[in-house]
Chains A and B, each alone.
Chain A
Amino acid sequence: EAQVTQNPRYLITVTGKKLTVTCSQNMNHEYMSWYRQDPGLGLRQIYYSMNVEVTDKGDVPEGYKVSRKEKRNFPLILESPSPNQTSLYFCASRGGPVGGYTFGSGTRLTVV
């Protein structure tokens, strides 16, 4: 089954403790991206990647890092999480000129 897999689904952590949210897709898509969803703000793009070793900032990149060492994986790294990064995070991939976006199931992150 074609899918984007995010882990974990839920995460509670403390301020300053580094964490990684994993994202993997099995569709051989070149494009992948990360979004955060907050009430009243919709989904906002954090980072995106057009291909392996190519990443770029989205609208809200501060406090986040990403890497794209292989096509299928695009982890989101929070080096020093803060409470304002409490949010619902989505990973997505896109394939082809008429291909739609496939979203992961989301990660609910709480930073206390």
Chain B
Amino acid sequence: AQTVTQSQPEMSVQEAETVTLSCTYDTSESDYYLFWYKQPPSRQMILVIRQEAYKQQNATENRFSVNFQKAAKSFSLKISDSQLGDAAMYFCARETGANNLFFGTGTRLTVIP
């Protein structure tokens, strides 16, 4: 089954604190890409970070980093030093060999001033 699971429908974090969003997925493929997308109220889909499954090193983009556990099929997103502009819906997604993206159901992140 091509499933991506985000078990946290909503999360909140204090400004300047750190928050981790969870994602697990199912696949029989050995090589694939994983993504986190941010969707602010403008509804634009913005790529936050990308991880290639064959790479052991966890991807990092400024304040955003992932904890990729391939054997456990887990791909969590850590946001450090949270800012008000980080408030958004976050989607985890996995790309199949046919270049199709499967998305999770999303986690709505609230940042508390």
Contact = CB atoms under 8 A, between A and B. Distances in A.
Do A and B belong to a common assembly?
yes
Interface of A: 31, 33, 35, 40-45, 48, 50, 58, 88, 90, 92, 94, 100-101, 103, 105-106
Contacts of A44: 103
A88 B100 CA distance: 19
Contacts, number: 46
A100 B4 CA distance: 18
A34 to B, nearest CB: 11
Contacts of A103: 44-45
Contacts of A42: 4, 6, 91, 103-106
A35 to B, nearest CB: 8
B47 interface: yes
B44 A45 contact: no
Interface in B36-56: 43-45, 47, 50
